[in-house]
Homo-oligomer: A and B are copies of this chain.
Amino acid sequence: MNKLVETILDHRSIRSFEDKLLSKEQIETMVLCAQAASTSSYIQAYTIIGVTDPEKKAALAEIAGPQTYVEKNGHLFIFCADLQRLQRAAEMENADVTEALESTEKFLVASIDAALAAQNAAIAAESMGLGICYIGGLRNNLPEVSKLLGIPKRVIPLFGLVAGYPTNPSAKKPRLPLENIYHENEYQSDPEVFNEQLEQFNRTIRSYYLKRSNGLRKDNWTCQMTAMLGKKSRLYMKDYVESQGLNKR
């Protein structure tokens, strides 16, 4: 197993950082790595906003939870799906490409482009000995995030990524059984096999939580997921994304 694979497999989300900022060089390396990712048809449909302003960081931390590590970290990146750049490109060529920009296809392309880029940045950070955590909590209130960051139409802040020097390295969290994630030649949908795999994972995660909590935490994956999905969470998203001029047709 090579070093890079080891780094990838050793990932854990870090939620507590030293009071030490990343250097300009570290930030640039992360962004250049993000940009080196594959991009659909060369579209490069994302923008990354680095947030250093303490008031903005505090406000974003509040929106995201509150989560202190959104405020206290080495650097905070916000990854946005961005089709506004493409609109400008088309305007430079005197063309109207509204239909494409507003399509679900291009919304998907931009979101995937942004995520591929982000994961490169994350891995690069980890290779430099930094810890990272994705911040999906920003989606609690994207209109407010957009106001804070001056986000224009055709742009959606998808998630944050914090990086920094870890203080309390957390434990590596188990993943679903490989056979449940990876199927061959067709989607494996035998309900008995599938449910047994989830039960197996429930046993794994149950003992993981029991051990980490000294016997206090007793839930498992399926009940954790069910509780999470049962919350009426971010149901404004469809309207918001459409109001930004994306995912409309």
Contacts and interface: CB of A to CB of B under 8 A. Distances in A.
Contacts of A11: 36-38
A186 B3 CA distance: 36
A104 interface: yes
Contacts of A194: 85, 88
A175 to B, nearest CB: 4
Interface stretch (A62-70, A163-171, A210-218, A223-231): A223-231
Contacts of A36: 8-11, 175
A31 interface: yes
B181 A31 contact: yes
A224 B3 CA distance: 38
Contact of A38 (B13, B42, B187): B13
Copies in the complex: 2
Contacts of A203: none
Q: How large is the interface on A (under 10, 10 to 19, 20 to 34, 35 or more residues)?
A: 35 or more
A18 interface: no
B221 A89 contact: yes
A181 B47 contact: yes
A86 interface: yes
Contacts of A53: 185
Interface of A: 1-5, 7-11, 13, 28-29, 31-38, 40-44, 46-53, 56, 80, 85-86, 88-90, 92-93, 95, 97, 99-101, 103-106, 108-109, 111-112, 114-116, 118-120, 122-124, 127-128, 132-134, 136, 139, 148-152, 155, 158-159, 173, 175-176, 178, 180-187, 189, 191, 194-195, 198, 221-226, 228-235, 237-238, 241, 247-249
